[in-house]
Amino acid sequence: MTTEPASARGTLSREKVVRAAVEMADESGGKVPSTRKLAERLGVQAMALYHHFRNKDALLDGMVDFVFAEIEFPAEGVEWKSAMRDRAQSMREALIRHPWATGLMDSRANAGVATLRHHDAVIGCLRSQGFTVAGAAHAFSLLDAYIYGFVLQELALPFESPGDLEAVAGPILEQAAMEGFPHLAELAVEHALKPGYAYADEFWIGLDLILDGLERHRTTWT
């Protein structure tokens, strides 16, 4: 039976396996690597991976925990709106770096330590500054739904630069004029196609609206 070199077995670790899996998922545009491909990347036999992860679900748990470890969570004493804003920015950046992760972040039944630490810190920040238990749950759910949803939409858009946007908007404007869609044309011309427009700015507008709404209700939810 062929075995991996002793040096490979000796240097393989749980962290190294997860990091390689994350890198491969990033490079492929979102496809979680097979055990065989991951083993090839690490220079070992596939069976060696089972010393660290008993199955693919366990590997996914580790990959999700890896991403949560990259996301900034609230430090003690930080004002809650500022903390949630910083966390939202950090989460959005992490999900853009790892586009495969968005649909997996809250799917794991066996959450890792980084995931649990992150969630506990967010809830603790909210509770320490006036949110009821129910209010903290509502806020956490709403904020994450917004961040995940925005990133999904942002990554799906068919443009990245202003030039890309103009190329996409051109045919839409032509069709809007032909079919009689004046409001669509107005939004494109008066907003999206103006110099300096960036779709990413919409993230902060929506986030601030959510935070302002949470402020009004944080002590009253039961």
Side chain identity at 3, as an amino acid letter? T
Structure-block tokens of residue 157: 């858009």
49, 17 in Cβ contact below 8 A? yes
Cα distance between residue 25 and residue 11, in whole Å: 22
Integer distance in angstroms from the first to the last C-alpha of the chain? 63
| pLDDT greater than 50 at residue 5 | no
116 C-beta neighbours (distance < 10 Å), count: 12
What's the pLDDT score for residue 63? 94
pLDDT for 9 beyond 60:
no
Residue 185 has pLDDT above 90, yes or no: no
- What proportion of the chain, given as a percentage, has pLDDT over 90? 59
Instruction: Give residues with Cβ within 8 angstroms of 126, minimum separation 6.
Output: 80, 135, 136, 139, 140, 218
Given pLDDT bands bounded at 50, 70 and 90, which one contains residue 174? confident
Segment 47-93, tens digit of pLDDT: 999 889 888 889 999 999 999 999 999 988 899 999 999 999 999 99
Q: What integer pLDDT is reported at residue 4 of this predicted model? A: 47
CATH placement of domain 9-53: 1.10.10
Q: For tokens 């004002």, name the residue.
A: 79
Mean pLDDT of all residues belonging to the chain: 89
**Which residue in 171, 173, 194 sits closest to 183, CA to CA?**
173
- Residue 216 to residues 18, 130, 131: CA-CA distances in angstroms? 42, 11, 11
Residue 220: burial class (beta carbons within 10 Å; 0-12, 13-18, 19+): exposed
Question: What is the CATH code of the structural domain delimited by 67-217?
Answer: 1.10.357.10
Task: Please tell me the predicted confidence (pLDDT) of residue 68.
Answer: 97
* pLDDT confidence of residue 8: 47
pLDDT tens-place string over residues 97-137: 999 999 899 888 899 999 999 999 999 999 999 999 999 99
What average pLDDT does range 158-171 have in this prediction? 79
pLDDT, position 216: 92
Mean pLDDT of 3-26: 78
Two tokens at 206? Answer: 């929506």
What is the number of residues in the chain? 222
Section 130-147 average pLDDT: 96
Contact 162, 197 (CB under 8 A): yes
How far is Cα of residue 173 from the mean position of the Cα atoms in its chain? 32
Answer whether 133's CB lies under 8 Å from 141's CB: no
Q: Return the H-helix or E-strand segment holding 27.
A: helix 14-27
Domain ranges for the chain, please list them: 9-53, 67-217
Which of the four pLDDT bands, split at 50, 70 and 90, describes residue 154? very high
